[in-house]
A and B are shown apart, each in its own frame.
Chain A
Amino acid sequence: MSTDAPSSSDIQPGAYQYGFHDSTEFYSFKSRKGLDEEIVSQISAMKQEPEWMRDFRLQSLQIFESRPMPDWGGDLGELDFNDIYYYMKAAAEQGRSWDDVPDDIRKTYDRLGIPEAEKKYLAGVKAQYESEVVYGSLREDLEKQGVIFTDTDSALRDHPELFREYFGTVIPSGDNKFAALNSAVWSGGSFIYVPKGVAIDFPLQAYFRINSQNMGQFERTLIIVDEGASVHYVEGCTAPTYSSDSLHSAVVEIIVKRGARCRYTTIQNWSNNVYNLVTKRAMVMADGLMEWIDGNLGSRLTMKYPAIWLMEPGARGETLSIAFAGESQHQDAGAKMVHCAPNTSSRIISKSISRGGGRSSYRGLVKVQKNAENCRSNVVCDALILDSESRSDTYPYIEVEEENVAIEHEASVSRIAEEQLFYLMSRGMSEAEASAMIVTGFVEPLVKELPMEYAVELNRLIELQMEGSVG
Chain B
Amino acid sequence: MSSVLKVSDLHVSVGETPILKGVNLEIGQGEIHALMGPNGSGKSTLAYALAGHPNYSVTGGTIEVDGVNITEMEADERARLGMFLAFQYPVVIPGVKVADFLRHAVTNVRNPDRKEGEGLIGMREFRKELRSRMTELGMDHEFARRYLNDGFSGGEKKRMEILQLAMLQPRFAILDETDSGLDSDAVRVVSEGLARLSGPQMGVLIITHHERLLEFNTPQFTHVMLGGRIVETGDAALANELHSNGYAEVRKRHPQAAAEEAAAEEALA
Q: Could you tell me how many residues of chain B have their Cβ less than 8 Å away from some Cβ of chain A?
A: 31
Query: Cβ of B196 < 8 Å from any Cβ of A?
Result: no
Query: 0/1 per residue, A415-440, Cβ < 8 Å to B?
Result: 00111101111111111111001101
Give Cα A434–Cα B80 distance, bound, in whole angstroms: 14
Interchain CB contact under 8 A, B87 and A430: no
A426 contacts which of B52, B92, B116 (Cβ < 8 Å)?
B52
The answer to whether A438 and B96 touch across the interface, beta carbons within 8 angstroms, is yes
Q: Does A443 contact B (CB under 8 A)?
A: yes
Among B78, B92, B93, the most chain A Cβ lie within 10 Å of the Cβ of B93
Residues facing A in B131-172 (CB within 8 A) are 147-148, 164, 168
Residue interface bits A354-384, CB-to-B below 8 A is 1, else 0: 0000000000000000000000000000000
Find out whether the CB atom of B51 lies under 8 angstroms from the CB atom of A426: yes
Distance of A427 Cα from B105 Cα, bound (Å): 5
Chain A residues with CB under 8 A of B51: 422, 426
Contact, CB under 8 Å: B79 / A441: no
Interface contact B79-A440, CB-CB below 8 Å: no
In the complex, chain B residues whose CB is within 8 Å of the CB of A98: none
Which residues from chain A contact B269 at a C-beta distance below 8 Å?
none
A445 proximal to B (CB < 8 A): yes
Complex: how many Å from CA A134 to CA B53?
55
Do the beta carbons of B95 and A440 come within 8 Å of each other?
Answer: yes
Q: Report if A242 contacts B (CB, 8 A).
A: no
Give the residues in chain A near B164, CB-CB below 8 Å: 427
- Answer whether residue B104 sits at the interface, using C-beta atoms and an 8 A cutoff: yes
Instruction: Let me know if B54 is at the binding interface, CB within 8 A.
Output: yes
Bound state CA distance, A418 and B93, in angstroms? 12
Q: Does A449 contact B (CB under 8 A)?
A: no
Q: Is A457 an interface residue (CB 8 A)?
A: no
Please tell me if A442 contacts chain B, counting CB pairs below 8 Å.
Answer: yes
Query: Could you say which of B76, B78, B93, B168 contacts A437, with CB atoms under 8 Å apart?
Result: B93
Establish whether residues A423 and B93, one from each chain, have CB atoms under 8 Å apart when the complex forms. yes
**CB distance B87 to A423 under 8 Å?**
yes
A432 CA to B94 CA in the complex, in Å? 17
- Which A residues touch B54, using CB under 8 A? 418, 422
- Does A444 belong to the interface (CB within 8 Å)? yes
What is the CA–CA distance of A418 and B84 in the complex, to the nearest angstrom? Answer: 18
Task: Give the residues in chain B near A437, CB-CB below 8 Å.
Answer: 93, 96, 101, 104
A409 to chain B, nearest CB (A): 20
Question: Inside 8 A of B96's CB, which chain A residues have their CB?
Answer: 437-438, 440-441, 444
| Given A418-B54, A422-B54: A428 in contact with B108 (beta carbons within 8 A) | yes
- Residue B65 at the A interface, CB < 8 A? no
B75 interface contact, C-beta 8 A: yes
Known: A438-B93, A438-B96, A442-B95. A428 touches B80 (CB 8 A): yes
Using A437-B96, A441-B147 as known contacts, say yes or no to A425 and B76 having CB atoms under 8 A apart: yes
Asked if A425 and B75 sit within 8 Å, CB to CB, the answer is yes
Query: Which residue of chain B lies nearest to A444 when distances are taken between CB atoms in the complex?
Result: B95
Residue-wise interface mask of B (94-124) relative to A, using a CB-CB cutoff of 8 A (1 in contact, 0 not): 1110000100110011000000100000000
Interface mask (B51-91 → A, CB under 8 Å = 1, otherwise 0): 11111000000000000000000111011100011010011
Do the beta carbons of B79 and A428 come within 8 Å of each other?
yes
- A173 to B14, alpha carbons, bound, how many Å? 61
B128–chain A nearest beta-carbon distance, Å? 20
A429-B74 in contact given A440-B95, A441-B95 (Cβ < 8 Å): no
Chain A residues positioned under 8 Å from B104 (CB to CB): 427-429, 433, 437
**Tier of interface size on chain A:** 20 to 34
User: What residues of chain A lie closer than 8 Å to B168, measured between beta carbons?
Assistant: 427-428
A382 to chain B, nearest CB (A): 10
Task: Determine if A431 and B93 form an interchain contact, defined as CB atoms under 8 angstroms apart.
Answer: no
Q: Known: A437-B104, A441-B147. Contact between A426 and B75, CB under 8 A?
A: yes
CA distance in complex: A429, B104 (Å): 7
Q: Tell me whether B91 and A430 are in contact (CB under 8 A).
A: no
Choose among B90, B95, B108, B168 the residue with the greatest number of A CB atoms under 10 Å from its CB: B95
Chain B residues near A445 (CB, 8 Å)?
A: 95
List B contacts of A418 (CB < 8 A): 54-55
Q: B93 touches which one: A424, A426, A443 (CB < 8 A)?
A: A424
Chain B CB within 10 Å, residue with most, of A419, A420, A428, A431: A428
**CB within 8 Å for A423 and B90 given contacts A418-B54, A430-B76, A433-B104:** yes
Residue of A nearest to B102 (CB): A427
Tell me the minimal C-beta distance from B36 to chain A in angstroms.
23
Which B residue sits closest to A417, measured CB to CB? B91
List, in ascending order, chain A residues with CB within 8 A of B91's CB.
417, 419-420, 422-423
A36 to B148 Cα, complex, angstroms: 58
Residue of A nearest to B100 (CB): A437
Residue of B85, B87, B105 most packed against chain A (CB within 10 A) = B105
In the bound assembly, the distance between CA atoms of A341 and B53 in angstroms comes to 56
Q: Which residues of B sit under 8 angstroms from A425, Cβ to Cβ?
A: 52, 74-76, 79
Interfacial chain B residues near A441, Cβ < 8 Å: 93-96, 147-148
Q: Are A426 and B95 in contact (CB under 8 A)?
A: no
- The CA-CA distance from A424 to B85 in the complex, in Å, is 11
Instruction: Point out the residues of chain B lying under 8 angstroms from A426, CB to CB.
Output: 51-53, 75-76, 78-79, 84-85
Chain A nearest CB from B57 CB (Å) reads 13
**Residues of chain A within 8 A of B74, CB atoms compared:** 425, 431
CA distance A419 to B89 in the complex (A): 10
Closest Cβ of chain B: how far from A461's Cβ, in Å? 15
Q: Which residue of B lies closest to A427 (CB)?
A: B105
| Interface set, chain B 23-48, CB cutoff 8 A to A | none
| Closest residue on chain B to residue A419 by CB atoms | B91
B52-A433 in contact (CB<8A): no
B177 smallest CB distance to A (angstroms): 16
**A26 CB to closest chain B CB, in angstroms?**
36
Q: Which residues of B contact A430 (CB under 8 A)?
A: 76, 108, 116
Chain B residues with CB under 8 Å of A443's CB are 95
Query: Do A429 and B76 form a contact, CB below 8 Å, given A422-B53, A437-B101, A437-B104?
Result: yes
User: Chain B residues near A434 (CB, 8 Å)?
Assistant: 76
Since A428-B109, A429-B105, A434-B76 are in contact, a sample of 15 more A-B pairs with Cβ atoms closer than 8 Å, ordered by chain A residue number, is A420-B92, A423-B87, A423-B90, A423-B93, A424-B105, A425-B52, A426-B76, A426-B78, A428-B80, A430-B108, A432-B116, A433-B116, A437-B101, A438-B93, A438-B96
Q: Which 8 A-B pairs have the closest CB atoms?
A: A441-B95, A444-B95, A428-B108, A441-B96, A423-B91, A428-B79, A427-B105, A425-B75
Could you write out 16 A-B pairs with CB less than 8 Å apart?
A418-B54, A423-B87, A423-B91, A426-B51, A426-B52, A426-B76, A427-B105, A427-B109, A428-B105, A429-B76, A431-B74, A437-B96, A441-B93, A441-B94, A441-B148, A442-B95
Query: CB within 8 Å of B: which residues of A?
Result: 417-420, 422-434, 437-438, 440-445
